[in-house]
A and B are shown apart, each in its own frame.
Chain A
Amino acid sequence: MRPFDYASPTTADQVTALLGKSWGEVEILAGGSDLLSLMKDEITTPRRLVNIKTVEGLHTISTDRGALHLGALATLDRISEASTAQHNFPMLAAAAGDAASPQIRNVATIGGNLCQRPRCWYFRAGHGLLAQKDGKSLVLQGDNRYHAILGNDGPALFVSPSTVAPVLIAYNAKVRIVGPRGAREVPVEKFFVIPKTEQEREHDLKPDEFISHVIVPPAPGVRAAHYEVRQKEAFDWPYATAAVALTMNASTVQNARIVMGHVAPIPWVSVEAAQALQGKAVTKATADLAAQAAVAKAKSLGHNAHKIHLARVAVKRAILAAAGSQAAGGAA
């Protein structure tokens, strides 16, 4: 790790004043699980770390009129154990409790989870976010078994690494972002962007902004479940995930949110799959049709055709699990 100076601000204004004007000069330290690995491998070499754990008000987990307010520094462990999350947003509690390992969940924060960098092995080996050499993609030329099957027409071919983000999107959650010009709120779905150049990051933050909160709106009666296809039961990056939130009208689906993870450079919202389910009862047959619609536009990069199958299976199983789950509690 290269030397850096270490700032301990106590207010949001101090944080934004300490952050840089371009990516890479300054990094925010929350849990540090991903950041310290990136710094040891010199994938990022900031001259300053801004430890935001000394800022008040970013650690809390609270509810306000049925909405769940997560401070950006709420750890995955605390979220998975929070009774309000378990009762009203069970898919979120389950996804947070399934992520990584106990040691990581004890320090990893929800803000850091959304801002963690891709696991693409070309990126992690120092070839850049887009992994291009002499204008050619190393991903397309090389081993791309874990890379994107959707949204893979542009130069970015990595997959979005968060297993919690698709769940938050299925719940229509928002992030509150604080910068020198004040605060703004963005749906988690819009927070993630596919970068076109090496100078961009995978999200909507500016270099001098940070996430202060994640807000999940009330979801009374919503039936939700996520499904991850992994090689290992614990501590593994999935091949593909699916998060499904269903609003039922008696036995038929009134509204569906179907979001896939680890299939594209952003969490992938499938409008096609949601439309395929709308107005129908959930059966193996309708779940299968919706899952087929979810991957209808998927495209192999050469070594990852199996991911199309796995993503379809994840969507189908998540739909069936969501339909079979208990409706979430909580008042609107």
Chain B
Amino acid sequence: MDDLPEKPAKQDKNDEPKKSKPSSSSSGVSRRDFLKISGVSAAVPLVSHVSALALDDTAHVQGPGKVPVSLNVNGKKLNAQLEPRVTLLDALRDQFELTGAKRVCDRGTCGACTILMDNKAVYACSVLAIDAQAAQITTVEGLGEPGHLHPIQQAFIDNDAQQCGFCTPGFVVATKAFLDQHPNPTPEQIKHGLGGNFCRCGTYAGMRAAVLQAAKTKGA
């Protein structure tokens, strides 16, 4: 499901399933819950459910229907029933409310969905959720939070390293992976090491300054 529905939802409010999750919105339904509810009427199962079957030679085959998927994200075990075709990015955003990783190109070319898998930067749009179950996953939510920002996040603020901000979470996470491997980077290394992320507003100068500041802060 995309972030924004093309048409307003027409669902009768009385039919809305009750959600037990806490919500910050005044109506009691969060934006993401609302989008999920609005999508229910359009969701038609495409294939009959086959959870798992073993071939004669015992290779494990799952799907195409929903199968249990268990992810380790920011130190927590998260479980869901997902079709094998669901990407890690869509699972994080749509199932687990972790919307820090952004869905922009969805083709592994922009970097807005960058997350860490076993401390390495990866495009979450280009990994299947079912294929990420063995990894320790870290999203931008796992780096810091309001009031307790990660030094990299603070450095981005201090250096005015964003305009619209949509690429920022991806850059922050990519910077984390980069600085872990290059604690004292040269400007050339920064350019090469963050070459997998794009900022359409063009705030690269601020970002390079932020990376240098974060490198110094980290050592302090």
Contact = CB atoms under 8 A, between A and B. Distances in A.
**Is B one of A's binding partners?**
yes
Interface of A: 1-10, 13-14, 17-18, 29, 32-33, 36-37, 39-40, 47-49, 51, 53, 77, 100-104, 106-107, 233-235
A88 B41 CA distance: 60
Interface stretch (B17-25, B91-99, B192-200): B192-200
Contacts of A107: 122-123, 126-127
Contacts of A3: 46-47, 63-65, 83-85
Interface size on B, as a range, is 35 or more
Contact of A7 (B60, B127, B174): B60
Interface in B165-193: 174, 177-178, 191-193
A3 B108 CA distance: 20
A29 B131 contact: yes
A5 B84 contact: yes
A99 to B, nearest CB: 11
B59 interface: yes
Contacts, number: 120
A-B interface, 9 closest residue pairs, ranked by CB to CB distance from nearest: A101-B196, A234-B195, A3-B64, A6-B84, A14-B59, A9-B59, A103-B196, A106-B120, A5-B63
B55 interface: yes
A8 B47 contact: no
27 contacts: A3-B63, A4-B85, A5-B50, A5-B64, A5-B84, A6-B62, A8-B62, A14-B58, A17-B55, A29-B131, A32-B126, A33-B126, A36-B108, A36-B125, A37-B107, A37-B126, A51-B131, A77-B120, A102-B193, A102-B195, A103-B108, A103-B111, A103-B123, A107-B123, A107-B127, A233-B191, A234-B195
A179 to B, nearest CB: 16
Contacts of A234: 191-192, 195-196
B60 to A, nearest CB: 5
A107 B60 CA distance: 23
A40 B192 contact: no
Given A5-B64, A17-B57, A18-B59, A40 B83 contact: no
A18 B121 CA distance: 31
A14 B59 CA distance: 6
B108 A37 contact: yes
Interface in B42-82: 46-47, 50, 55, 57-65, 67
Contacts of B120: 77, 106
A205 B38 CA distance: 46
B55 A18 contact: yes
A55 B218 CA distance: 39
Nearest to B108: A33
- In this complex, the member of B65, B114, B192 whose beta carbon has the largest number of chain A beta carbons within 10 angstroms is B192
A180 to B, nearest CB: 12
A102 B67 CA distance: 31
Given A4-B84, A37-B126, A53-B131, 4 more contacts: A13-B57, A32-B127, A77-B120, A101-B196
Interface string B128-165: 10110000000000000000000000000000000000
